[in-house]
Structure 1
């Protein structure tokens, strides 16, 4: 992905989104050639698919999305939310958990979102 897109401080325009949406397929093409990671390549390809079918690159939904892709989607989103970005500061853990809860059943698998929230709560107690 072009670094000017990744580091853009403002909103993405249509061309930026086209560029950004390439990364699952680029990652898939790289990882499928690595012997010990090739089984995870599909998870990388589908980690931006949504439970409701409104994701990318294929628009698959629900049980069509591999389990590891669903897990990766929640982990990736949490990491993105809790990391500073050029266009916004990081969310707090509490804010990120609220987002995971709000998008459960639409963007994320409900059970995986709930499990991630429980893990975050447990980890914050230690």
Structure 2
């Protein structure tokens, strides 16, 4: 990516979960397993992400961020949300952020669990190659994570 694309990716990544402000705290911070209804609320946040960013002016500054924030929970095999996109139909920024977001979620402490060791998270990411995550985005992300750990 060139410098401008990296800047847009960075901005998209920073804003990718802004829609969670529209999800109740008792759901976001719940220490036990989510009910089906609660999970459906969580699944709305990518749509809320997009809706919030569409309200920010100038609209043309936000437009390049919208596909990535909306699609960061799509799965490479089509099993994600909110649109059930598959493969390369998932916008590139969404495919990249999906890997980074999963790695962060697995390795970070949460109210309901401790973060897992980095090597375990990397193994889980590798297992999901081609099903949950784009193989190309995953390969680049894994190389970056390993490089940053040196």
Short-chain TM bin: over 0.9
Q: Is the 8 A contact 1:10 1:86 kept in 2?
A: no
Please tell me whether residue 23 in structure 1 is matched to residue 50 in structure 2. no
Aligned to 2:9: none
The more displaced of 58-67 and 83-92 is: 83-92
Unaligned runs of 5+ in 2: 1-22
- Output the TM-score relative to the length of structure 1: 0.94
Separation (CA, whole Å) in 2 of partners of 1:2 and 1:95? 30
Aligned to 1:37: 62
Number of residue equivalences: 125
Separation (CA, whole Å) in 2 of partners of 1:73 and 1:32? 21
Please tell me whether residue 73 in structure 1 is matched to residue 95 in structure 2. no
Aligned to 2:28: 6
Separation (CA, whole Å) in 1 of partners of 2:99 and 2:62? 20
Dislocated runs of 4+, deviation >3 Å: none
The more displaced of 31-40 and 17-26 is: 31-40
> 1:121 Cα shift?
0.9
Separation (CA, whole Å) in 1 of partners of 2:107 and 2:82? 24
> 1:87 Cα shift?
2.2
Aligned to 1:111: 136
Task: Tell me how large the CA RMSD over aligned residues is.
Answer: 1.1
